[in-house]
Homo-oligomer: A and B are copies of this chain.
Amino acid sequence: MNMLHNIEQLERVESQITQKGLTVWFTGLSGAGKTTICQAVYNKLIEQSLKVEHLDGDLVRQTLTKGLGFSRVDREENIRRIGFVAHLLTRNDVIVLVSAISPYRSARQEVRQQIGAFVEVFVNAPLSVCEQRDVKGLYQRARNGEIQRFTGIDDPYESPLNPEVTCSTAEETIEQSVTKVIQAITIANFPAPSADNLD
């Protein structure tokens, strides 16, 4: 293999061939900290020369899911479409980080089954904390009646029953949350070598 010239290239090749695709799906209320944790995890993985994409719910509404609203049907279509793209990337060995409120359990279950290699991260902060943070001023607007169907206010959020990771962002630091997620990715993506591989 005379294309392998140097250590750097070797390392890149090594991390890429051991990398398998995986979707890490961050769900939680607006303001719970999904995007923040996701970005930090993204940076950690990029540092390791891994192939990573971040699909952020707010951003993809400008492209992938443009035109969809916040009815139950539209929210489900939103999740389904993000799931479709996450699946395409995952089966091509990319680690996909999705941050989206994704309030309905059944829709999350549907994408989990479709994708297969799936880690659900529940970014959990009490509504009162999210509302106090109100990073985007949306809770205020929802309370004023300027926004309808706002998750947690007048639209339901169905907590995961059995998520692979829970980040309790009112009680732990971002670093603690990130560490948990990276550990879960490491377990899912790089399983301990079996006896077969120890030659």
Q: Would you give the shortest CB distance from A165 to chain B, in whole angstroms?
A: 24
Most buried by B among A51, A63, A67: A63
Q: Does A17 contact B (CB under 8 A)?
A: yes
**Residue in chain B with minimal CB distance to A85:** B85
Pick 29 A–B contacts, CB within 8 A, sort by A.
A2-B197, A3-B14, A3-B18, A5-B199, A13-B13, A13-B17, A16-B16, A16-B17, A17-B17, A51-B92, A51-B93, A53-B92, A63-B80, A63-B81, A63-B84, A64-B64, A64-B81, A64-B84, A64-B85, A66-B77, A66-B81, A67-B67, A67-B77, A85-B85, A88-B88, A88-B89, A89-B89, A92-B92, A92-B94
Q: Would you give the shortest CB distance from A94 to chain B, in whole angstroms?
A: 5
For chain A, residues 1 to 55, give those with C-beta under 8 angstroms from any C-beta of chain B.
1-3, 5, 10, 13-14, 16-18, 51, 53
CB 8 Å contact bits of A60-75 with B (1 = contact, 0 = none): 0001101100000000
Q: How many residues of A contact B (CB 8 A)?
A: 28
Assess the B17–A197 pair: CB atoms within 8 A: no
Separation of A16 and B63 alpha carbons in the complex (Å): 29
CB 8 Å contact bits of A146-178 with B (1 = contact, 0 = none): 000000000000000000000000000000000
Assess the A88–B14 pair: CB atoms within 8 A: no
The 10 A-B pairs at the shortest CB distance, nearest first, are namely A92-B94, A63-B84, A51-B92, A13-B17, A85-B85, A53-B88, A64-B84, A2-B199, A92-B92, A88-B89
Separation of A92 and B92 alpha carbons in the complex (Å): 8
Assess the A1–B5 pair: CB atoms within 8 A: no
- Chain B residues near A63 (CB-CB < 8 A): 80-81, 84
- Chain B residues near A10 (CB-CB < 8 A): 1
Contacts A63-B81, A81-B64 known; A3 to B197 CB distance under 8 Å?
yes
